[in-house]
Amino acid sequence: MEGQVNWVDWVGYAASALIVVSFLLSRLSLVRAVNVVGCVCFVIYGAFKGPLWPIIVPNVILICIHFYALWKLKVAAD
pLDDT in tens, 54-74: 999 999 999 999 999 999 999
Residue 25 within a domain = yes
pLDDT in tens, 4-59: 889 999 999 999 999 999 999 999 999 999 999 999 999 999 999 999 999 999 99
Instruction: Please report, as a single letter, which amino acid is at residue 39.
Output: C
Report the run of H or E that residue 50 belongs to, with start and end.
Answer: none
Give the domain range for residue 69: 7-77
DSSP 8-70: HHHHHHHHHHHHHHHTT-SSHHHHHHHHHHHHHHHHHHHHHHS--HHHHHHHHHHHHHHHHHH
Rounded distance between C-alpha atoms, residue 50 and residue 46, angstroms: 6
Residue 39 within a domain = yes
What is the total count of domains within the chain? 1
Residue 2 within a domain = no
Residue 59 within a domain = yes
